[in-house]
């Protein structure tokens, strides 16, 4: 290398650094040769929710990689920024951290849409911030209905426009439909309800309770648990004394692990059911078989994983990430497809690609995804509402924490009771 060349190299390095700095400072990414827009991903990647969150993240990453492989979206390459909402003080998702993450996304002008969050508690903290910036997010798993309920529009979308879209349906269906299923199919006549005091847990168990009462199931009680508490033997002994046909748990893994273990110790004969919070590989290995055997769980999306058309996708996912996908890995993949489709349509219509146009395009999305057709109502809720029911059935051939094989699909929970 000659002296001249070395100097040129240094100059160009300095020049490139200046360009990067300029771009970072907000002088516009348009100066770069390749146009990039960023999709934010917001999930509780550390803590008790890490297992399910990682499977969701991988679904989204896979969709972004595949879109980039096909040349990106609307002439843009897709960048990714992943932020974690798990903190050590919460030990699971932390709404305060989720709010901070939302602010970070809003502050980055390249971020034009978000995929996430996983948990409704995060969503409730993020939506006021995202609404102010008109930055839309698509959640692949958060199911609390309040966030998209027009009644709470002032709280969760003060700006007026829907910014919280979902590729799953809500607990307004997940809880009640499971109540229908339990009465009609599992022949449950009485139930005791416990929840984990979180936004999701309280919401889904209240929705379940209302429907159970409506269709004549005897609700013998409803207690709230402290998720950091170790001992639930007191409450479970109390439940055993009342002898209900079933126990319904609304909540996520942190309390769910202990509820499942101690129910198995004290009251194993009862029918045990929960929502999508009980679908988690970490929970399976922490509780272990046979204690977790026989739990009924729901997912707020159609179960397409076992379809023949999905086998290639499942194989790609398993090969790339060395773990099996969950149903919400599919809905996360679908969420990215919606974002990509929206950017494509904005670009094809000759409009500039920014948060406002992408949000508007998402609102009118109507496309075929892995789970089936996805379109949203004016609140951001998915139009196609399906609740799938699973029973945890030990598959000795698979690993204990294999969410694809240890949850056996047994049908759809009906929106209205059969009788």
Report the nearest approach of other proteins to the CB of residue 182 (Å).
22
Query: 392 near 256, Cβ under 8 Å?
Result: no
- Name the residue among 136, 211, 140 with its Cα closest to residue 173: 211
Provide, rounded to whole angstroms, the least separation between the CB of residue 192 and other proteins: 12
Cis omega (within 30 of 0) for bond into 112: no
Residue 44 CB, shortest distance to other proteins, in Å, is 10
Provide the token pair at 96: 């305060």
Closest-CA residue to 101 (of 28, 159, 44): 44
Min dist. Cβ of residue 59 to other proteins (A) = 20
Q: Which residues make beta-bridge pairs with 83?
A: 42
Q: Shortest gap between Cβ of 9 and other proteins (angstroms)?
A: 41
Nearer to other proteins, 236 or 343 (CB): 236
If you compute the radius of gyration of the chain from its CA atoms, what whole number of angstroms results?
23
Query: Smallest gap, in angstroms, from Cβ of residue 115 to other proteins?
Result: 23
20 vs 96 by CB, closer to other proteins:
96
**Hey, how many other C-beta atoms are within 10 angstroms of the C-beta on 269?**
8
Contact residues toward other proteins (CB under 8 A) are 46-48, 50-51, 86, 88, 91-92, 197, 223-226, 228-235, 237-238, 240-241, 243, 253-254, 257-258, 261-262, 265, 282, 285-291, 400
- Residue bearing tokens 């950091």: 228
The kind and range of the H/E element at 40 are: strand 36-43
- Tell me the Ramachandran region of residue 243: left when phi exceeds 0, alpha when psi lies from -120 to 50, beta otherwise: left
Q: Which is nearer to other proteins, 232 or 376 (CB)?
A: 232
Nearer to other proteins, 124 or 258 (CB): 258
Are the beta carbons of 250 and 204 closer than 8 angstroms? yes
Q: Which is nearer to other proteins, 13 or 237 (CB)?
A: 237
Residue 369 Cα distances to 53, 63, 336, 361, 410, angstroms: 21, 11, 10, 16, 23
191 DSSP assignment: E
Q: Which is nearer to other proteins, 155 or 233 (CB)?
A: 233
- Of 237 and 398, the one with the shorter C-beta distance to other proteins is 237
Of 161, 127, 130, 157, the closest CA to residue 142 belongs to: 127
Q: How far is the CB of 43 from other proteins (least distance, A)?
A: 14
């Amino acid at each position: 290398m000659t002296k001249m060349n070395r100097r040129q190299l240094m100059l160009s390095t300095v020049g490139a650094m200046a360009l990067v700095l300029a771009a970072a400072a907000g002088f516009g990414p348009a100066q770069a040769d390749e146009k990039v827009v960023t999709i934010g991903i917001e999930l509780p990647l550390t803590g008790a929710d890490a297992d399910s969150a990682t499977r969701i993240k991988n679904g989204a990453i896979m969709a972004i990689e595949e879109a980039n492989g096909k040349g990106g979206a609307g002439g843009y390459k897709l960048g990714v920024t992943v932020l974690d909402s798990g903190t050590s003080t919460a030990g699971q998702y932390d709404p305060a951290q989720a709010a901070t993450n939302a602010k970070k996304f809003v502050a980055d002008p390249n971020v034009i849409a978000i995929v996430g969050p996983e948990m409704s508690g995060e969503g409730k903290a993020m939506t006021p911030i995202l609404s102010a910036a008109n930055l839309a997010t698509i959640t692949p798993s958060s199911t609390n209905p309040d966030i998209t309920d027009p009644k709470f529009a002032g709280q969760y979308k003060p700006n007026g426009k829907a910014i919280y879209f979902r590729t799953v349906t809500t607990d307004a269906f997940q809880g009640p439909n499971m109540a229908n299923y339990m009465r009609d199919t599992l022949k449950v006549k009485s139930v005791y309800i416990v929840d984990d005091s979180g936004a999701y847990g309280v919401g889904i168990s209240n929705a379940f309770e209302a429907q159970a009462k409506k269709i004549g199931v005897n609700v013998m009680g409803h207690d709230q648990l402290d998720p950091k508490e170790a001992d639930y033997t007191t409450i479970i002994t109390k439940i055993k004394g009342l002898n209900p046909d079933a126990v319904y748990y609304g909540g996520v893994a942190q309390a769910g692990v202990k509820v499942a273990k101690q129910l198995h110790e004290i009251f194993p004969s009862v029918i045990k059911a929960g929502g999508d919070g009980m679908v988690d590989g970490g929970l399976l290995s922490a509780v272990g078989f046979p204690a977790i055997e026989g739990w009924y769980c729901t997912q707020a999306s159609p179960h397409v994983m076992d379809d023949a058309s999905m086998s290639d996708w499942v194989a790609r996912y398993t090969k790339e990430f060395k773990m099996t996908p969950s149903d919400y890995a599919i809905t996360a993949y679908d969420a990215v497809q919606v974002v990509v489709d929206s950017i494509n349509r904005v670009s094809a219509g000759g409009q500039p690609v920014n948060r406002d146009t992408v949000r508007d395009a998402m609102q009118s999305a109507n496309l075929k995804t892995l789970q089936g057709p996805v379109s949203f109502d004016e609140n951001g809720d998915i139009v196609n509402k399906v609740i799938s029911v699973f029973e945890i059935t030990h598959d000795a051939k698979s690993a204990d924490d294999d969410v694809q094989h240890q949850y056996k699909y047994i049908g759809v929970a009906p929106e209205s009771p059969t009788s």
